[in-house]
Chain A
Amino acid sequence: MAEVRFDAASRIYPGTEVPAVNELNLDIADGELLVLVGPSGSGKSTALRMLAGLEFIDKGSVFINDKDVTLAPPQDRDIAMVFQNYALYPQMSVAANMGFALKQQGIPKDERRKRVEEAARILDLEPYLDRKPKNLSGGQRQRVAMGRAIVRSPQVFLMDEPLSNLDAKLRVQTRTELADLQARLGVTTVYVTHDQVEAMTMGHRVAVLDHGVLQQVARPRDLYSKPENRFVAGFIGSPAMNLVDVDATNGIAIAGGTVPFDDSVNVANQSGTVSVGVRPEHLSLVTDGTPDSIAGEVTVVEELGSEAFVHVRTKHQGDDLTLVVRDEGETSTQRGDQVSVAFTGPTHLFGADGERVGD
């Protein structure tokens, strides 16, 4: 069992100026499942590969269990990795795939067999041990890749988008199984994904990266309720938070509706262009004439059954602005309706620098 620490670790690819990962500081606790999430090019995979030893660490250090592994080759780090495309050795049987690392360590055949069978039992792979990867379904392949990692009982699991090759339904199911398995084994896990739903549902904590820079690392609910900057606010949550640029010179209002903030925000101190964030569930459709409501026209209704998301077009500072509002399921609202929108929950304010203002 192990703790992992990134200490100002940077990766600058040869021939590039901007670091792919820029001075990453991150502490991962023993047994924790930490998710690295971000759009493509955010450096999340690079960070994982730095921990794996597949990328040079140009500056800073990486520690596993307080041991500096910055310069150690992958095989000396006692880690196991699950790749996006599983990277199963095509010519080897499932059993041989799972036992390959043990074989490299010179572990005797009987012992190997025992450990492979044990992992196969955990993952329901016993009937397939003699098959070749090409004769397995996508879900089974994914489990073999997991099995290959488990067999080694490593200090750390590294997972690079392990579910992205599965179809949507299987992905949701496997997500739960994987989180459960990780909890049972208690192995420290670093998990990379671009899917923020996966990040939120699986991670004990989630680290959001953008352009190689760590934006925020927090528990999923804190990430959702208290995004530290405009990027995190826009990235986490589906549908996304409504983010509106507002000229703050004379108070903060959207399309004529004054935005309420909690006490920690001093609106009078703001100047220039700031961003207001409000999640769809913290907006409501109200009857006309409600004070501080925003008048607009419905352009799209996304009916999901249990809830509906209504897109309302309005005019804000001379431009068209569309706000997404959550409404109850089986809504009677239709495209073309004239509606009013009111603030009914917490709002977020991001200063001109993109950082969160107030608590």
Chain B
Amino acid sequence: MSNNNAGPVVGKRTIGGYLLSVLAWFVGFLFFFPVFWMALSGFKTEADANGPPKLFFEPTTEQFSEVTGDTTGLLSAGEAFSNSFWAVVISTFFVMVLAVPAAYALSIKPVSKWKDVLFFFISTKFLPIVAAILPLWIIARELDLLNTRLVLIILYTAMNLPLAIWMLRSFFSEVPKELIEAAQIDGAKLWGQISSVILPIVAPGLAATALLCVIFAWNEFFLAVQLNPIEGSTVPIWVTGNVSTRGNFLAKLSAASTLATLPVIIAGWMAQKRMIRGLAMGAIK
């Protein structure tokens, strides 16, 4: 985990090495460019945005205030962000509450058929969500859950649970068995083992897992647009609401897109090191 083992090749000062570094920077900018351009266009006027690409212009925050302002009859930014926030936060919380004990039962004190159970969880991710949307819609309608935050909370929990269990299980298996046994001999019960021994050790993995759940839930569009088109709509729906068939909308859309992606991008940037570990080192071990 220290920097010493980061890479076998320690920056050779050869022309080839130099070129590779330049190439890496170039690839980096290439991948980032669309995001940069989107954010940039958010500060343009519609006239500047709807024309040949312009790098230099007179920046304005006009579009940001326009897209965050309320228009009667339309989904407001405030509403969308608050719906998204609660759906994401509460569903991620539920995912963790369900996944932590489940991961314990699949790794530390495994149930006898833990592999089959893990397969079952993962297999639910293979089932296409479109194939379930109709019954879900019918059930939600029967239970009066259409256009509510609750329906998204439930479905986002189900959507992220398998991935969370899969990742957490791997993190849990990295906890040395002797530590759990020591805690057992010291008299710690299940919750004591989890809270004072396991969780502090897997905290980085827990954070990475939660973050991934947040990203997938925040970005989710299909379920939200099918089940909550009128109320309880989330940020992705609000973004698409800025696409207009009449008149220019690119600057406004860019401003809205920037606002919509910003929270997750910043969170992802901050947690990227943990994500690398979380996605792969944990997942494979």
Interface residues of chain A, those whose CB is within 8 Å of chain B, are 52-54, 73-75, 79-81, 83-85, 87, 89-92, 100-101, 104-105, 148
A52, A85, A90, A92: the one within 8 Å of B185 (CB): A52
Distance in angstroms from B142 CB to nearest chain A CB is 46
Query: Given B184, B187, B196, which contacts A89 in the complex, CB threshold below 8 Å?
Result: B196
Q: Which B residues from 169 to 222 make CB contacts under 8 A with A?
A: 176, 178-179, 181-188, 192, 196-197, 200-201
Contact of A83 among B181, B192, B196, B200 (CB under 8 A): B181
Q: Report whether B178 and A85 are in contact in the complex, using a CB–CB cutoff of 8 Å.
A: yes
- Determine the chain B residues whose CB is within 8 A of the CB of A92 once the complex forms: 196
Closest chain B residue, CB of each to CB of A91: B200
**CA A120 to CA B64, docked complex, whole Å:** 62
Query: Chain A contact residues: over half helix, strand or loop, or mixed?
Result: loop
Chain A residue at minimal CB-CB distance from B180: A87
Complex CA–CA separation, A89 to B185 (angstroms): 13
A80 to B176, CA, bound (A): 18
Complex-state Cα separation, A54 to B176, whole angstroms: 15
Min distance, Cβ B78 to any Cβ of chain A, angstroms: 40
Q: Decide: A81 and B176 in contact? CB cutoff 8 A.
A: no
Q: Cβ of B182: which chain A residues have Cβ within 8 Å of it?
A: 81, 83, 87, 89, 148
Most-contacted residue by chain A among B185, B192, B201 (CB, 10 A)? B185
The residues of B that contact A105 with a CB separation of less than 8 Å are: 187
Q: In the complex where A91-B200, A91-B201, A100-B196 touch, is A54 in contact with B186 (Cβ < 8 A)?
A: no
Given known pairs A75-B187, A81-B185, A100-B186, the reply for A89 and B178 (CB within 8 Å) is no
3 A-B pairs with the lowest CB-CB distances in the bound complex, closest first: A101-B186, A75-B187, A104-B187
Shortest beta-carbon distance, B265 to chain A, in Å? 30
Given contacts A54-B185, A81-B182, A83-B182, 17 further A-B contacts (CB under 8 A): A54-B181, A54-B184, A75-B185, A75-B187, A81-B181, A85-B178, A87-B176, A87-B179, A89-B179, A89-B182, A89-B183, A89-B200, A91-B200, A100-B188, A100-B196, A104-B187, A105-B187
A86's nearest neighbour on chain B, judged by CB, is: B178
Chain A positions within 8 Å of B179 at CB level:
87, 89
Closest-by-CB residue of A relative to B175 is A90
> Can you identify 20 A-B contacts, CB atoms within 8 angstroms?
A52-B185, A54-B181, A54-B185, A73-B184, A75-B184, A75-B186, A75-B188, A80-B185, A81-B185, A87-B178, A89-B182, A89-B183, A89-B196, A90-B201, A92-B196, A100-B183, A100-B186, A101-B187, A104-B188, A148-B186
The proximity string for B residues 143-158 relative to A, scoring 1 for CB distances below 8 Å and 0 otherwise, is 0000000000000000
CA distance A81 to B186 in the complex (A): 9
For B188, what are the chain A residues with a Cβ–Cβ distance below 8 Å?
75, 100, 104
Query: Shortest beta-carbon distance, A16 to chain B, in Å?
Result: 15
Q: Are B186 and A85 in contact (CB under 8 A)?
A: no
Contact (Cβ within 8 A) B201 A74: no
Q: Which residue of A lies closest to B181 (CB)?
A: A54
In angstroms, Cα B184 to Cα A80, docked, is 10
B186 contact set on A, CB distance < 8 A: 75, 100-101, 104, 148
Report chain A residues within 8 Å CB of B200: 89-91
Instruction: Name which of B182, B192, B196 has the most chain A CB atoms within 10 A of its CB.
Output: B182
Q: A81, A83, A85, A87: which has the most chain B beta carbons within 10 Å?
A: A87
Residues of chain B contacted by A85 (CB below 8 angstroms): 176, 178
Cα distance, A173 to B37, chains bound together (Å): 67
Residues from chain B with a CB closer than 8 A to the CB of A91 are 200-201
Nearest A residue to B184 via CB reads: A74
A261 to B137, CA, bound (A): 92
B4 to chain A, nearest CB (A): 15
- The complex places the Cα of A79 from the Cα of B179 at a distance, in Å, of 16
Q: Nearest-CB distance from A78 to chain B (Å)?
A: 10
Write out the residue numbers on chain A whose beta carbons fall within 8 Å of the beta carbon of B197. 89
Quick check: A74 and B185 within 8 Å, CB to CB? yes
**Cα–Cα distance between A85 and B182 once the two chains are bound (Å):** 11
Q: How far is the CB of A188 from chain B (nearest CB, A)?
A: 16
A148 surroundings in chain B (CB, below 8 A): 182, 186
Bound form: Cα–Cα A244–B200 in Å: 57
Instruction: Determine the chain B residues whose CB is within 8 A of the CB of A53 once the complex forms.
Output: 185
**Shortest Cβ gap from A160 to chain B (Å):** 9
A349 to chain B, nearest CB (A): 43
Q: How many angstroms from the CA of A100 to the CA of B197 in the assembled complex?
A: 10
- Smallest distance from the beta carbon of B204 to chain A beta carbons, Å? 12
A106 to chain B, nearest CB (A): 10
A75 to chain B: closest residue by CB = B187
Nearest chain A residue, comparing its CB with the CB of B186: A101
Measured between alpha carbons, how far is A283 from B37 in the docked complex, in Å? 88
CA of A87 to CA of B176, assembled, Å: 8
CA distance A54 to B186 in the complex (A): 12
Q: How far is the CA of A83 from the CA of B197 in the complex (A)?
A: 16
What is the CA–CA distance of A105 and B185 in the complex, to the nearest angstrom? 11
Please report the C-alpha to C-alpha distance between residue A100 and residue B181 in the assembled complex, in whole angstroms: 13
Contact of A87 among B181, B192, B196 (CB under 8 A): B181
* Min distance, Cβ B194 to any Cβ of chain A, angstroms: 13
For residue A89, which residues in chain B have a CB less than 8 angstroms away from its CB?
A: 179, 182-183, 196-197, 200
A8 CB to nearest chain B CB (Å): 24
Identify the closest chain B residue to A14 (Cβ).
Answer: B112
Residues of A within 8 A of B187 (CB): 75, 101, 104-105
Bound complex: CA of A143 vs CA of B203, how far in Å? 27
With A and B bound together, what is the CA distance between A92 and B181 in angstroms? Answer: 16
Set of chain B residues within 8 Å of A104, measured between Cβ atoms: 186-188, 192
For A79, list chain B residues within 8 Å (CB).
Answer: 185
Closest chain B residue to A76 by CB distance? Answer: B187
Q: How far in angstroms is the closest Cβ of chain A from B213?
A: 24
